[in-house]
Structure 1
């Protein structure tokens, strides 16, 4: 048997695992427009779907995380009702499945969806119902299988992280798999939310932390050493603790060694990292260096609307840039599945019954 040519169309057929994807960063442009009309939201820059799609991407290409985050004002504004949350969650599942994703953890901040009277619990109920509906549609209408769970996010500039952590624990048997903090890093260190993380540890709950994207090693150090995170959201700036020599050898500092030794997964998002200034270009992105140094790297989309991307396109960019083959993509996918906030036996089942057979066909 010969290997399937490695192009974008073929990558779409490969089973993929996504750990870092924001619900409010992945809406269809048409959905944004229709939901805005339904709630009389008149602040969209355009009501043409093609133009709006381009606007989100161009607005996100700022080189600044703070400016990048401003684009979410529009998507969050149209996700304030039970119907809108269910629809966005359902369409998210359908879009991921159509791209070959077999397991995904999609995150969002319930505290940002209360403007029209919903409670935190109602926000969770309707969003999780949307995920369930999407999985059912994919299974019954398309004959595919996908598991989508929710990462419940608290905003790091707010003061509700303990409350949101408790919310996550209340819903963890109903589709909420873990906790996260997100938002601007500078001035809002993870240690501000220690009570939430200590609570989660007492409850044996999983959590990831956005760290090492717009801010450097102190953010990563706090997330790991003080907060005890299971994964690092982005973590790109761990390269600040690695000295590369001209001959390609590397000297790792204490923090970089610890992250690698502990196999703390890095939720790397190549396109988004370029947009926010965490990397100058895909070619300059540290993904390949970290992969070669045996860090547990994973490929992620972050915000599919803002970055105008999919998992397949993120993988293809890495293939084009670094010359990866099918076995490399399989390794990154297994890295992600190993790192998922899913029970061990369920992770193993997806690896053995879906990921490995799927790549075996492509590798030939």
Structure 2
């Protein structure tokens, strides 16, 4: 029964690779931190504020969606605030059954009150470490890494890349670029990608969300991306026929699938920004998975989308007909796509995810 599967989703082990630190704050935390720094918010009640974030993000525009971050970033400008937000993110993810997470965020956006780039990374790591300890005390085991992000429309990519190298063994697991995708391609600072490759830093690039196939091509070929953030517009390089029963892949789609480059798909967020689909049922994630692309399931921004990994899974089960095997598949794919070493990925799959699914008896949709 579908309901039986829905009921056990919270207890399933989960992996999230695309979750923005500054997009996952608790509304009450935003209120309290805003009060401390005198930042004016559009609502003064936690429930109302959460609703405002969701409605603003539901505009159908990525540009408007990104504007909501003006408020979260404004209250994340001190070591204490950064550590608190990171700690709470870890606890919230662990409570949702997440066993491995990568938190991405842009250090350059948190320097308004005098912090340096290293200061921000260290503050976030302190919060992550505390959150992991607290989660463990509650019987919830989770591992979390940082992905440091350069903003597409600024010129600090190299600085942030150097930050990723400097903290590669101190909590940072990878590099990303984010922000307005259309008009700010990876070629904007082409040298940074070779620098990262020379220093063995894994790369994920937001692409195929607000821009199409050309953006994905640059991410893959110039940016040397190990994963693609979103990537759902790869369907623009696929021709469907016979009621979508047949699919003819273009050369780029073949390349992405042939190389099993993981797609960090975020269904609820994609609907909000009009990146793909109009409902969960017709979102490309299901078709891409059926075509054997390396699909992973993610939250993007838990605050703006009022979502969680459990919520994303429930929607796919109830609206797109996913089974427990589908959920296991995207979770295992995500674990094998994590920015950790091969032996650590194997342990995550063999010792945590598979046993977590296997202990669920009678969990068939």
In structure 2, the partner of 1:261 is 258
1:80-229 matches, within 5 Å, as 80-140=77-137, 142-229=138-225
SS in 2 for 1:6: helix
C-alpha separation in 2, matches of 1:244 and 1:361 = 39
CA contact (8 A) 1:327 1:363 kept: no
C-alpha separation in 1, matches of 2:293 and 2:361 = 24
In structure 1, the partner of 2:307 is 309
In structure 2, the partner of 1:5 is 4
| CA shift digits 1:219-271 (9 cap, x unpaired) | 00111111110000000100000011115010000000000000000000000
In structure 2, the partner of 1:233 is 229
**Count of residue correspondences:** 360
| CA shift digits 1:10-48 (9 cap, x unpaired) | 10100000000000000000000000011111x200110
C-alpha separation in 2, matches of 1:339 and 1:350 = 11
| CA shift digits 1:36-86 (9 cap, x unpaired) | 011111x20011000000000000001111110000000000000010000
Q: Over aligned residues, Cα RMSD in angstroms?
A: 1.2
User: Pick from 73, 78, 84: which aligns with 1:76?
Assistant: 73
SS in 2 for 1:103: strand
1:322 deviation in Å?
1.9
| CA shift digits 1:198-226 (9 cap, x unpaired) | 10000011010000001000100111111
C-alpha separation in 1, matches of 2:41 and 2:82 = 19
C-alpha separation in 1, matches of 2:258 and 2:252 = 10
In structure 1, the partner of 2:275 is 278
SS in 2 for 1:251: strand
Structure 1 residues 99 and 243: alpha-carbon distance in aligned structure 2, compared to 1, 3 A threshold: same
In structure 1, the partner of 2:21 is 23
With structure 2 as the length reference, what TM-score do the two structures score? Answer: 0.97
CA contact (8 A) 1:326 1:363 kept: no
With structure 1 as the length reference, what TM-score do the two structures score? Answer: 0.97
| Greater Cα shift, 172-181 or 323-332 | 323-332
Corresponding position: 1:59 with 2:85:
no
| Uncovered stretches (5+) of structure 2, i.e. residues with no partner | none
1:4 deviation in Å?
9.2
SS in 2 for 1:306: helix
Post-superposition, which runs of at least 4 consecutive aligned residues in structure 1 deviate over 3 A? none
| Greater Cα shift, 274-283 or 252-261 | 274-283
Corresponding position: 1:325 with 2:323:
yes
SS in 1 for 2:327: helix
C-alpha separation in 1, matches of 2:236 and 2:2 = 38
1:363 deviation in Å?
5.0
| CA shift digits 1:170-213 (9 cap, x unpaired) | 11101100000000111101111222111000001101000000
